[in-house]
Amino acid sequence: MLVYNKTRRSLEPKEHKFEFQDVEEPHLFSETFSYESIPKIPFNYRENPIDIPKEIWITDTTFRDGQQSRPPYTVTQIVDLYEMLHRLSGKSGLIRQSEFFLSTEDDKKAVRMCMERGYKYPEITGWIRASKEDFRAVKEIGLKETGILTSVSDYHIFLKLKKTRKEAMEGYLDIVKSSLDEGIIPRCHFEDITRADIYGFVVPFAQELMRLSQEYKMPVKIRACDTLGVAVSYPGAALPRSVSGIIYGLTHYAAVPTEWIEWHGHNDFYKAVSNSVTAWLYGCSVVNCTLLGLGDRAGNTPLEALVIDYIALRGNDEIIDTSVITDIANYFREKIGYQIPHNQPFMGYDFNGSIG
């Protein structure tokens, strides 16, 4: 059956719906991800079309993932940095949201103080595990959206959670319904998506989320998490490591609106920035970052890098005050005591200097 794609203005064959596969043994892609050697990059030579969304923007997780490899920021530091993110975002709202922990009293105090600023951007969102107990904190503090941990690889489902795919999905859908029942937008964090069975679990799970979205007439967002930083941007690379393949699967087969898809990258293999820009290029509206790229292990996508790439892609330099990047760098040095490498792009003293 042929259908007309209004976005690409062409006829395309209507693809079949991918069915959920509840396997007995975990699918670990052992040839690609061997415990004894560097992960391999297989190719199947399937290339996806570049499909840059009408709008692209940035979200921040400095106060959540950005605190997982360093001492926690103080309440004052969080409020000060949030203020600078607001300034950097500008009137355009380039930095749409900022994600916070809600675990401790200091976390909640910082959230309340930032909310008192009354800024439209960055909107404050939460992060919780897929448990109703954690969900109470979101309701109590009055947030409109929260991230929910919904691990999608068999590494996490079988080996970490000790569940089957069916048990995991049922639990995830239950907590998503709880969020929707309260009128709070759920953002499902597809943890470890780059080691997951994309068409046996990820796409069917996303299809179920889109069904709930239609039922409740509310957005259900998806964060595609490259948890170990193993994604690649190379044309023709095979799933589950292909950034373009993951985005294509979510938009084309699961019918997730591009503005509901967010890429969350890690830098374990030096690919966080290139993978994040690739996600934009292939149909993902949102890229999640941290200031200075601070985060678990080798870190996340640096927010300041994506600000510069955004300007380079869109050409509208005048809507963003990039001098705030220098203010943020100085704050980290002088108020937080963090030593930024002198050659770090955009933040280091000597990043654009010359020695000869």
277 band by pLDDT with thresholds 50, 70 and 90: very high
Q: Does 142 have pLDDT greater than 80? A: yes
Nearest to 227 by CA among 117, 65, 113, 10: 65
* pLDDT for position 15: 66
Q: How far is CA 256 from CA 71, 97, 212, in A?
A: 37, 20, 12
Q: What is the CATH number of the domain that holds 312?
A: 3.20.20.70
Q: What pLDDT score was predicted for residue 9?
A: 80
Mean pLDDT, range 251-266, rounded to an integer: 96
121: three-class secondary structure by DSSP = coil
The CA distance from 126 to 147, in Å, is 6
CA distance 19 to 203: 8
| 110 membership: H or E segment, kind and range | helix 105-115
The range of the structural domain enclosing residue 308 comes to 53-336
Which of these ranges, 1-5, 30-34, 330-334, 344-348, has the smallest mean pLDDT? 1-5
* 272 SS3 class: helix
Extract the tokens encoding 273: 């920035």
Residue 300 inside a domain? The answer is: yes
Question: pLDDT-based confidence at 352, cuts 50/70/90?
Answer: confident
Q: Determine the Cα angle at 206 with ends 204 and 212, to 5°.
A: 110
Task: Please indicate, yes or no, if residue 8 is contained in any of the structural domains.
Answer: no
Output the pTM of the full model.
Answer: 0.95
How many domains does the chain fold into? 1
Handedness of CA 195, 252, 281, 304 (dihedral sign): negative
Share of residues in the chain with pLDDT > 70 (%): 98
Residue, of 356 and 130, whose pLDDT is higher: 130
The pLDDT of residue 152 is above 80: yes
How far apart are the C-alpha atoms of 186 and 126, rounded to whole Å?
A: 10
* CA 232 vs CA 190, 266, 316: distances in Å: 17, 11, 28
> Token pair of 338, please?
């963090």
Judge whether 104 and 130 are in contact, CB under 8 Å.
no
Are the CB atoms for 302 and 341 separated by under 8 Å?
A: no
Neighbouring residues of 46: CB distance < 8 A, sequence distance ≥ 6: 236, 238, 245
**Average pLDDT estimate for 38-48:** 96
pLDDT higher than 60, residue 278? yes
User: What band does 82 get if pLDDT is binned at 50, 70 and 90?
Assistant: very high
Q: pLDDT value at position 133?
A: 76
Q: Positive or negative CA dihedral for 3, 247, 189, 203?
A: positive
Question: Token pair of 105, please?
Answer: 């009293």
Residue with the bigger pLDDT between 317 and 275: it is 275
* pLDDT value of position 155: 98
What pLDDT does 201 receive?
98
- pLDDT at residue number 12: 81
Average the pLDDT over 251-263 and give the result.
96
Kindly state whether residue 172 falls inside one of the protein's structural domains: yes
DSSP letter at 252?
I
Contact 202, 152 (CB under 8 A): yes
Residue 22 lies in a domain: no
Instruction: Say yes or no to pLDDT of 14 above 90.
Output: no
Q: What are phi and psi of 129, to 5 degrees?
A: -80, 170
- Spatial CA neighbour of 319 closest among 307, 328, 330: 307
- % of the chain at pLDDT higher than 90: 84
pLDDT of the residue at 195: 98
pLDDT band with cut points at 50, 70 and 90 for residue 4? confident
The answer to whether residue 26 sits within a structural domain is no
Mean pLDDT of the residues in the chain: 94
Could you read off the pLDDT of 312-341 as tens digits, one per residue?
999 877 788 999 999 999 999 999 999 999
What digits encode the pLDDT tens for the residues 155-166? 999 999 999 999
Q: Which helix (H) or strand (E) holds 185?
A: strand 185-190
Beta-carbon contacts of residue 341 (< 8 Å; ≥ 6 apart): 348
Question: Which tokens hold the place of 179?
Answer: 């969020």
Give the separation between CA 108 and CA 46, rounded to whole angstroms: 46
Say if 17 falls within a structural domain. Answer: no
What pLDDT was estimated at residue 221?
A: 98
> 144: how many CB neighbours lie within 10 A of its CB?
12
pLDDT (tens digit per residue) in 229-244:
999 999 999 999 999 9
pLDDT band at 355 (very low <50, low <70, confident <90, very high): low
Report pLDDT for 353: 76
Per-residue pLDDT reduced to its tens digit, 97-117: 999 999 899 999 999 999 999
- 243: in domain: yes
Assigned domain for 353 exists: no
Nearest to 241 by CA among 228, 222, 254, 250: 228
